[in-house]
Structure 1
């Protein structure tokens, strides 16, 4: 018998219109994970893909920070692949299907926006947030759940994001400063307690309290602590590279320079790179 032609789908198998549909992505993932598909894809589980999901999420964030729409479009696609994989794995296990995911999130969005889809009212974003939290509380009550604001926060969140989310929640529950001056006073208090700490354990404790309060300051300033620190890291990196470049251009051994000389280069690099 003549050799059988490979009937596996290729990019040419899909029209431009089909390539623009989410269902096509689901079909491709299903094919990859089906018998005769890709060995690597067939081995993946919810657990094995956790790192991929996290990495793709951070790459989306980086693309947003870069301000490049083309890169963001590509990275969002990579993130959608993760959604498709988890949905296909769940379908194969008989746990749920993509339709269940969509049904639940669509119903939730409609339910939590009564000012758009029903006769609710919200005059501004603040009121929307209050209504959202109230609806969430009612949903938990209907399920027989009674969670504290500090419960149910994903334990794998980065510490800064965890702290800010917890502060947001308790703030909405009424445990909040009257204004930002209370936060600033608290920082002064925490610095004093850090200076007075006598043991390594006390210092670690007070450092944690100070960091926690600094997160609250960023929250009161309308910023996200993760974003603020990430941008500070980026600025520091650019300035340090600028210092090294200036030293190299002047044939200086950077590591042999005094701290004062490095500080001069730092200030110059700061002016050059921002």
Structure 2
């Protein structure tokens, strides 16, 4: 059974300039960062599919990313894996005084609020002068996730829709504005309005307590299933490319009907 120390030694060997892997040796923080993000999404995908053997493997891939970054930092003299472990362990104890000390929290929502207060105090202790409710929202997040965090932060000071109805109204308003900009032909304005529309879509999901990313992954998976079925149905006639849009739509409707029937257990 391998241990974390074994993994650290493996990464050290891979990065060895003399006998390591040429690809691993030439990497840096910037080139590895996209792989780190990709592995995090693959963890989420395995969870969505309830693929627990796959989840085990994907968590290993994600752990490798942490080890990779820590090894590069060690080589540069910044920090090492032990410092990473020390930092997160200290942070977890500090931000959970209701578990590791004598503080009390009423429920999960109260803990979320306390967590944000801890983060605000930590930023102040570092000398960060930004006292906005939006301070500390990372610019490195996927934009949909940053939108969600910005909305949640704004809501902490009462800047939020009171119910879903005005959010839906706003969604319709943004759709109308997107339609108008398509007609105008102004590319910059169209980009701006599509951004507003997507921001409101995130808000709709937030008010519905729906994970925006999970919902979109589900929609992507659904589209892929149905499109692949369309390809199967069209294969005997030469494929989708030779069909009119109306014929393709008919195959889409058939694939959709078949899927719904299978889900309901109907013949």
Q: TM-score, normalised to structure 2's length?
A: 0.86
Q: Which runs of 4+ in 1 moved over 6 A?
A: none
2:190 to 203, 207, 221: 203
Cα shift at 1:28:
1.8
Is 2:208 the partner of 1:221?
yes
Gaps of 5+ in 1: 1-15
Q: Give the match for residue 241 of structure 2.
A: 255
1:233 aligns with 2:220: yes
Residue in 2 that maps onto 1:87: 70
**Structure 2 equivalent of residue 12 of structure 1:** none
Of 152-161 and 69-78, the range deviating more from structure 2: 152-161
How well do the aligned residues superpose, as a CA RMSD in angstroms? 2.2
For residues 106-134 of structure 1, what are the alpha-carbon distances to aligned partners after superposition, in whole Å with 9 as ceiling and x for unaligned?
11111111221122222222111111111
Contact 2:231–2:239 (CA under 8 A) maintained in structure 1? no
- Name the counterpart of 1:166: 150
Alpha-carbon distance between aligned partners in 2 of 1:266 and 1:57, rounded to the nearest angstrom: 32
Query: Displacement, 1:199?
Result: 4.6
Distance 1:190 1:32, change over 3 A: closer
Aligned residues: 255
3-state DSSP class of the match of 1:48? helix
Pair 1:190-2:179 in alignment = no
Q: 1:266 aligns with which of 232, 242, 252?
A: 252
Shift of 1:189: 2.4
1:244 aligns with 2:231: yes
Structure 2 match to 1:145 = 128
3-state DSSP of counterpart to 2:257: helix
Q: Is 2:42 the counterpart of 1:33? A: no
Q: Which residue in 1 is equivalent to 2:264?
A: none
Q: Computing the radius of gyration over CA atoms, which structure comes out larger, 1 or 2? A: 1
Where in structure 2 are there 5+ consecutive unaligned residues?
261-267
CA separation in 2, counterparts of 1:54 and 1:190?
30
Following superposition, the deviation at residue 75 of structure 1 comes to: 1.3
- Equivalent residue number for residue 3 of structure 1: none
- Contact 1:242-1:273 within 8 A present in 2 as well: no
Residues 213-242 of structure 1 show CA distances to partners (whole Å, capped at 9, x for unaligned) of 111001111122222112211111111111
